[in-house]
Structure 1
Amino acid sequence: MDDNKQKYRDLCEIEKIIPIFSKDWWLDAVCGDDNWDVVIIEKDGEIVASWPFYIKKSGFNVIAMPRLTQAMGIWISYPNGQKYTKRLAYEKKIFTDLIGRLPQVDMFSQNFHYSITNWLPLYWSGFQQATRYTYVIEDITDLVKVYNNFQSNIKTDIKKAQRTVNCYFDSDIDKFFNTNRLTFERQRMQMPYDIKFLKRLDAACSKRECRKIFYAQDEQGRIHAAIYIIWDEQSAYYLMGGGHPELRSSGATSLLLWKAIQFAATVTKKFDFEGSMIEPVERFFRAFGAVQKPYFSISKANRKMRVCQAVRDLGKALLKG
């Protein structure tokens, strides 16, 4: 599929509506150049649909989500003026064709961008779906309106933090990683990436000038919080964050997100909080006046994988018992 990959790279250069998480350079950074591929459909020498995917190296043949990648999925170029009923029929044809071009794997698991609202052709082809949610401020051009939509607790946090910390930009990725790590340590969770991975991704984003790192620091030099955002033509995304576990009540994260939204308004149209399915995090993001956006988590496993999963689940149950 090398020829397909080069064609897809060319497409990503000209098609601005393809989300950042599906761009070729992003996939190079988070997957490695040799660990992702793409299936495409062409008509009259032009690509009308594409579906990139990450090939995870394991004991099984698996298509999965790369680290720090919210969503991928199918991109379609629709005919101009297409009616809704024709659009659905067109989607069915495109989806079915793309599915037939995917490599045979033991397990497929991929999150689709929330702009994809029709998964029926996948259902008819034996795929399963679970609904997940992100939260998005749809229009960040009117910042007064955006701020007025914040709930009172967010406004209180912002005002409190303004009396305590100073906010600034800094491109030092090691400093961000150390702050980001504190949040995982507080929750006794293993970090899903290391500094080498993060530096590779940061270098790719920095080269394309589509990332910003925000810090909140007090007069004693203590970093209260840090957040990392990225953006494309359509939206900014809250990719990562972290903070000092003993300084969480300062309101610094709320202030940084407000600063990030203000900055994002100068480079794009929307602000995507990237989740979350975790109840306290969902409540926090919702308080910024963001709109709930459902997106599809699509999966399919062959018989061999289903048997292995059943044995694994049984083993866990026996250990608990």
Structure 2
Amino acid sequence: MTDKEKYRKFSETEKTIPIFSKGWWMDAVCGDQWDVILIEENGQILASLPYYFEEHDGLKEIRKAPLTQNNGIWIHYPQNQKYENKLSLEHRLMDLVIDKIEALNVYKYQQYFHYSIQNHLPFFWRGYTQTTRYTYVIEDTSKVDELVKNFSSSIRNTVRKATKTVMVEEDLDIEQFYNLNKLTYERQNLSIPYSFDLVSRIDEACKMRNARKIYYCLDDEKHIHSAAYFVWDDESVYYLMAASDPMYRSSQSLSLLIYEGIKLANRLGKKFDFEGSMKKNIEKHFRQFGAKQFAYHHIQKTFNGGDS
């Protein structure tokens, strides 16, 4: 059994591996352009690092996969471990992972780690650079009424206004969603950065595992104002994609759909992860839902001509 096959099987059952690092997610997003580094001892996987790669002019680059918030290292932590022992374990396993990265003979490495990985010192010591990025997370979604109290008054008013204008429906056709999603980019004079084929593959993989929901808003005349695509793993619901028709921006219905996503997390007993944004206006919008800011690492290194 190859490491990739072993990892596919392992990630199906290991609940602490985020959805974006699951083998099936990597298959859907990356096709054949992914692999995994495993650190095993006594038949147990202690660390893993799935990665997406591209080749340019015969040189291989490890980089962020499309529509994939984070990727990178996962570590198995023993229960009731002392903090000093945890750091020692991280340093040892990260060093072993870095050895394997550098044996791949890549010319560039960059990944976004999940926010649960706070320590990046072994990478720093080996010449990797780190940039801090942020996501926003509602950790406890168990009491919806309390969550709404934590919304800013502006968001509460926006949601209230939207409920008078539109209705929330679910399971929009994936092609309709994609076409609406394209309008969001076109409004900003941008091309959509991913293909319908990619979105369709993600949708099929998530549907097979009952790990996605599409909510959308429409008015009395059946005009679709906006749509939101949510996915989830064992711990969190993620706000993966949003789509809106510029003609109906005034209804501000996306805020209502985010609220629906938070209620979905409540029903599933999970956290809600906004996936974050470094754009000022988007960050402000997410923050107003009462979410907590979490830092995560963008780790990268460029090697000389691909020689590690």
Band of TM-score, shorter chain: over 0.9
1:51 to 49, 52, 61: 49
State whether residues 172 and 216 of structure 2, in contact with CA within 8 Å, keep that contact through their aligned partners in structure 1: no
Render the CA deviation track for 1:291-311: whole Å, top value 9, x for unaligned: 111100000001348xxxxxx
* Residue equivalent to 1:308: none
Q: Which residue of 1 aligns with 2:88?
A: 89
> What SS does the aligned partner of 2:2 have?
helix
Q: Separation in 1 of the partners of 2:197 and 2:97? A: 34
Paired letter, 2:13: I
**In 2: Cα distance, 1:176 partner to 1:162 partner:** 21
What are the residue-to-residue correspondences of 1:213-252 with 2, within 5 Å?
213-252=214-253
What do residues 26-47 of structure 1 show as CA deviations (whole Å, max 9, x unaligned)?
Answer: 0000000x21111111111111
Q: Which amino acid aligns with 1:25?
A: W
Matched letter for residue 212 of structure 1: K
**Aligned-partner residue type, residue 58 of structure 1:** H
Partners of 2:89 and 2:265 lie apart in 1 by 35
The amino acid of 1:67's aligned partner reads P
The equivalent residue for 2:132 is 131
* Alignment-derived partner of residue 111 in structure 2: 110
Counterpart-to-counterpart distance in 2, 1:86 and 1:159: 50
For 2:12 and 2:253, locate their aligned partners in 1 and report how far apart those are by CA, in whole Å: 37
How many residues of Structure 1 are paired with residues of Structure 2 in the alignment? 303
- In the TM superposition, what are the counterparts of 1:61-210 in structure 2 within 5 Å? 61-102=60-101, 103-210=104-211
TM-superposed deviation, 1:220: 1.7
Q: CA deviation at 1:119?
A: 0.2
d(CA) in 1 for partners of 2:22, 2:184: 29
Runs of 5+ consecutive residues of structure 1 not aligned to the other structure = 306-321
Structure 1 residues 9-18 or 227-236, which shifts more? 9-18
Give the letter for the 2:69 counterpart.
Q
Residues in 2 aligned to 1:40 and 1:243: alpha-carbon distance in whole angstroms: 41
Q: Is the 8 A contact 1:236 1:268 kept in 2?
A: no
Please state how far the C-alpha of 1:89 moved relative to its aligned partner. 1.1
Code of the aligned partner of 2:16: I
Which one is further off, 80-89 or 127-136? 80-89
Cα offsets for 1:224-279 (capped at 9, x unmatched):
11000000110000000011112112121111111111122112421011111000
Contact 1:264 1:271 in 2 (8 A): yes
Confirm or deny that 1:260 pairs with 2:261: yes
Amino acid at match of 2:255: S
Quote the sequence identity (%). 46
SS in 2 for 1:134: strand
CA contact (8 A) 1:29 1:204 kept: yes
How many Å apart are 1:201 and its aligned residue? 1.0
Following TM superposition, by how much is the alpha carbon of 1:171 offset from its aligned partner in structure 2, in angstroms?
4.0
Code of the residue aligned with 1:82 in structure 2: it is Q
Secondary structure of the corresponding residue to residue 165 of structure 2: coil
2:291 matches 1:290: yes
Residue-by-residue CA offset, 1:143-199 (whole Å, 9 max, x unaligned): 111111000111111111111101000241011011111110000111111111111
Q: C-alpha distance in 1, partners of 2:176/2:242?
A: 12
* CA distance, structure 1, for counterparts of residue 56 and residue 268 of structure 2: 39
The SS at the match of 2:301 is strand
What is the RMSD computed on CA atoms of the aligned residues? 1.1
**Partner Cα distance (1:165, 1:80) in 2:** 48
Tell me, in whole angstroms, the C-alpha distance in 2 between the residues paired with 1:228 and 1:142.
Answer: 23
- Specify whether residues 190 and 108 from structure 1 end up closer, same or farther in structure 2 by C-alpha distance, changes over 3 A only: same
Matched position secondary structure for 1:294: strand
Paired residue type of 2:230: I
* CA distance in structure 2 between the partners assigned to 1:185 and 1:235 by the alignment: 30
**Structure 1 residue 55: Cα displacement:** 1.1
Secondary structure of 2:267 counterpart = coil
What's the counterpart of residue 310 of structure 1? none
